[in-house]
Each structure stands twice: as C-alpha cells, then as structure tokens.
Amino acid sequence: MIKQDDQPELEAGSCAFFFDVDGTLADIQPRPELVFIPPRSLAALDHLSANGVPVAVVSGRPISQLDALLTPLQLPAAGVHGAERRTAAGELQNLALDHEVLDAIQRELAQACAEHPGLSLENKGVAFALHFRLAPELEETARHVAEDFVSRFGEVLALQPGKCVFELKPRGASKGEVIRTFMQEAPFAGRTPVFIGDDLTDEAGFKVVNELGGVSIKVGSGATEATQRLASVDAVAAWLDRLQSTLLVPQEHPIKPD
C-alpha cells in the first residue's frame, strides 16, 4: 500500500517526466481561468529542462492554455487528454472531430447547459467539458447530459469523468497512449518514464507508465493505479525542489521563484 507521506526518490538525469497540471502542478480553482502554476514549480521545470531532462505536460487543457500557464516555458505537451500533441521538435499533431459534427455537438450542449444554470460548458476546440464545480448539486444532471451525448455520438466521442467535470473527448484520445507515443521518440526514448497526476483522467497514464517499467505518482488520496503518492500540490513543489538536487549541472539562467 502506498502512503500519503511517501517521497519518491529518483535520479532526474535518467528519467523522462510527464506532469498533469490542474491538481498536480497547480491547485484547482473555482473556475479554470483562475488556475496558476506557482513560480517555484515553474523554476523547477525550467531547471530540469535546461539541464537536458525531458519534461512534458499531459493535461485535459488545450495546448494553448498550457503554454499560457507555463510562460515563459514552452514544453512538449499533450492537450485535451492526448487529442492534441506537440512533440519535442515542435511538431503539432491533432486528433480532431469533423467540424460539422463539432458544431452540432456545440449547439446541442449549449442548449442543454442553458436549461441548467450553474452547469458550465467549456469548448476546447476538439473536445467539450461540462463543469459543475460551482453547482455540485448538478453532478447527476451533468452526468446524464454527457452520457446522452456519448450514446448518440459514440462513434466519435468518449466520456471522461474528472473532478467536478464530465468531458467529451475524441474517441482514441488517452493520456496513457500519448505518453507511450512520447516514449518512442527522442529525447524521451530510453529513459525511465515518470508520470505525476491527481485525477481519474490520469489513471490511464499511470497504467501505461507501470507497463513501461516507470514510476507513477498519485497526488492526493483515493484508489489508484499509481505506485507512489504525494499528498498535495505543495508536496509536488517540494519534491521538485529535491529532485533538482540530483542534477550536477547548474542552470545558467533560472526563472526566479517568489
């Protein structure tokens, strides 16, 4: 059994790191646009990357939002649970739905949300999220709406439950499979994969990393496929600080944390 106070011990120089964002690098906020990554953690990611350690972010957010949160860094990234991907070489790859199908789903979802004040629709471009964080009593309503759309658009949509959200993502999008793809490419190939996440959406990533002989780390409580655990976003930041000490080459131009 993994414990809340376990502190994963790794040599950063032999690993490739994959980080979820919301609930892992950043505390969850009432609205997605209020989320921020603390400068301390940004500095640590910069330090790792600048010293040749492969670092990528794997999130339900679109890559455009990830870039804004990580500024001034621009890391390899998988957005919308792997429906979008930017390789280490900067190549963009998308797994998108047909535009006419997207437009039809958008219109119907907007109408469904209008009938339930407090239910918020986020259009991610290639996927949709039904948020009920501001109205937790609408969880079953949101679930019913999401399941209805998946039943009617099952050939192209898959349901992904998360913390106070039900997401409708392109079928085939998976954090686990996108991590597997990264691990087949430079500079990730040949290293030990490490994935840190906090949510149901991260379990597929934990499973694949375990299959690859890597290290899976769950942030917070709850049943999980992960083999190790950190208690909170603050614990992740502290762990990142310690992780940097395993690197021997100093960073020349670090981002200064607060």
Active site residues: 20
What is the edge-to-edge ordering of all strands in the sheet holding 84-86?
A: 92-94, 84-86, 77-79, 55-58, 15-19, 192-197, 215-219, 228-230
Token code pair at residue 229: 């655990």
| H or E element at residue 112 | helix 99-114
Closest CA to 40 of 244, 252, 187: 244
Query: 15-19 and 192-197: which strand pairing?
Result: parallel
Q: Are 218 and 198 in contact (CB under 8 A)?
A: yes
